């Protein structure tokens, strides 16, 4: 950067060719633009766009589930945007252009309700996923009547299966049927809980953070 005395030039500013003129406190400064400024900016923007697309691609098949699972956590934004923000900042790994979802870091639901204790998943018989957990009712704000929220995500098919009203926390297990096309595919499993307001029936007033149960191959 060079300083140019005002002299006959007076007060000047702006860009001329590959130089930028700026006036600060009565002095004219001239700076040369970086040779690769545009290229660097373009690559950064491309990386952001690709990362954005990876997150959208993951969330789109589970958007209906997210509408429920992030309903109590979204503040000054809708549930999908809240889920997008967490996934974008905490659950994408790799370097451009090889971004991938880090499934163990994903939270498909968020909230202050007590989560699942010692959850597991397995594919013990054809076309089904068996989810198990320990009944922690009565610990903290966990209740026997809390409903299990199960999500099974198939990245190869870009599809997801989810249930929100088939089992209670006290039950300790649920078997989830999956489509025949899931056979031999790897799926990722998540479990969370939702509590119901006893006065207003199915009005949601509490949801837990999800727990990642692992990945399994469907038999």
* 18-68 tens-digit pLDDT: 555 555 555 555 565 555 545 556 889 999 999 999 999 999 999 999 999
Beta 117-122 vs 159-163: how paired, if at all? Answer: unpaired
Residue 198: is its pLDDT beyond 50?
yes
pLDDT at 187 (0 to 100): 98
- Which of these, 201, 207, 81, 193, lies nearest to 134 by C-alpha position? 193
Q: Tens digits of per-residue pLDDT, 163-175?
A: 999 999 999 999 9
Q: Collect all residues with Cβ–Cβ distance below 8 Å to 139 and sequence separation of at least 6.
A: 114, 117
Is the pLDDT confidence value at 14 over 80?
A: no
Q: Does 5 score more than 70 pLDDT? A: no
Angle at 118 between CA 114 and CA 124, to 5 degrees: 130
Q: Where does the pLDDT of residue 12 fall: very low under 50, low under 70, confident under 90, or very high at 90 and above? A: very low
The per-residue pLDDT for range 94-143, each reduced to its tens digit, is: 999 999 999 999 999 999 999 999 999 999 899 999 999 999 999 999 99
DSSP conformation letters of the chain: -EEE--GGG-S--EEETTEEEEEETTEEEEEEPPTTHHHHHHHHHHHHHHHHHHHHHHHGGGHHHHHHHTTTT--SS-HHHHHHHHHHHHSEES-TT--EE-GGG--S---BB---EEEEEE--STTEEEEEEE--TTSTT--TTPEEEEEEEETTTTEEEEESSS-BGGG-EEEEE--GGGTT-EEEEEEEEEEE-SSSTT-EEEEBPPEEEEEEE--
């Amino acid at each position: 950067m060079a300083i140019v005395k005002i002299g006959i030039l007076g007060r000047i500013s702006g860009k001329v060719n590959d130089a930028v003129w700026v006036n600060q406190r009565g002095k004219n400064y001239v700076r040369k633009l970086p040779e690769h400024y545009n290229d660097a900016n373009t690559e950064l923007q491309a990386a952001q766009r690709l990362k954005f697309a990876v997150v959208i691609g993951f969330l789109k098949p589970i958007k209906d589930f997210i509408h429920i699972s992030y309903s109590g956590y979204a503040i000054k934004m809708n549930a999908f945007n809240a889920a997008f923000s967490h996934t974008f900042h905490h659950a994408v790994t790799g370097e451009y252009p090889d971004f991938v979802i880090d499934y163990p870091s994903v939270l498909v639901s968020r909230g202050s309700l007590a989560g699942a204790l010692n959850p597991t998943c397995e594919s013990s018989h054809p076309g089904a996923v068996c989810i198990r957990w320990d009944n922690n009712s009565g610990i903290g704000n966990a209740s026997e009547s809390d409903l299990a929220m199960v999500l099974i995500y198939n990245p190869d098919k870009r599809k997801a299966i989810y249930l929100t009203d088939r089992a209670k926390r006290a039950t300790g297990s649920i078997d989830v049927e999956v489509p025949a096309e899931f056979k031999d595919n790897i799926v990722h499993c998540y479990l969370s809980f939702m509590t119901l307001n006893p006065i207003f029936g199915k009005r949601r007033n509490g949801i837990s953070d999800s727990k990642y149960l692992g990945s399994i191959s469907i038999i």
